[in-house]
Amino acid sequence: MTGKSVLVVDDDIKTVELVKLYLKRDGYRVLTAYNGLEALRLARDKHPDIIVLDLMLPGMDGLEVCRKLREDSDVPIIMLTARTTDEDRLTGLDLGADDYVTKPFSPRELAARVRAVLRRIPGESVHRGPAEIKAGQLTVNFVNHEVFIAGKPLKLTPVEYKILCVLLKEPSRVFSRAQLIENALGYDFEGFDRTIDVHILNLRRKLEAAPNNCNYIKTVYGFGYKFVVNGK
């Protein structure tokens, strides 16, 4: 048994029950909601470990649910969408979703995506290496999985945290999109390269909105991204 809980949100009862069946087979505790307001209430009251969230919901759509959750929570979110264009998919990622699955989907694939996203969350295993790294105004504590800028906490999603850690541990090294996917998202990630661009953009926004307008992530055009201090 995993001991983890999953909130499944979709207005189609048959879809919810099928996904619930596969997740329970994997040992997850499953909560269910059929509209956006109910999803928001359960997410805040029950604190699930991960949320599977449909975009098209009555009352409050999935994008608005995601937006409101990201105001006070970094719970991992997998978006379900019937839309197939890159821009539609990127909208959810831009709001802070961690992954997406396009409808129609295989419930087995969705269960695999849940496992993959949960594996990317910092666990309770013993940390190897320094307990924390300081770079300019930025401090990352790898034991408590906390990030600070000028002493003030910075709230990141699990994916943003993983990307920052990968870049920070090897400053000045240029990571391609494929390398960031491999190191931060894992071999089993089945998204597309532009997903990394969206997570990097969101991470930059948070860093640059912090005191002293910290610009730590530099784009190396044609190659990828690297971590820099004082623009170097």
Taking the domains of the chain in order of start, what are their residue ranges?
A: 5-119, 132-227
**Is the model more confident about 144 or about 8?**
8
**Better pLDDT: 231 or 23:** 23
CATH architecture of the domain covering 5-119:
3-Layer(aba) Sandwich (3.40)
Query: Coil, strand, or helix at residue 38?
Result: helix
CATH number of 132-227: 1.10.10.10
Neighbouring C-beta atoms of residue 183, cutoff 10 Å? 17
Distance CA 96, CA 63 (A): 10
For range 3-12, the mean pLDDT: 92
Percent above pLDDT 70 for the chain: 84
Residue 177: helix, strand or coil by DSSP?
helix
Angle, nearest 10°, between helix axes 62-69 and 86-94? Answer: 30
* Ramachandran assignment for 209, one of left (phi > 0), alpha (psi -120 to 50 degrees), beta (any other): alpha
Handedness of CA 117, 138, 215, 223 (dihedral sign): negative
Calculate mean pLDDT across residues 127-131: 58
Q: What is the pLDDT of residues 169-214, one digit of tens each?
A: 888 889 888 888 777 766 455 555 567 888 888 888 888 876 666 6
Tell me what pLDDT residue 34 has.
Answer: 95
14 — pLDDT class (breaks 50, 70, 90): very high
pTM over 0.85: no
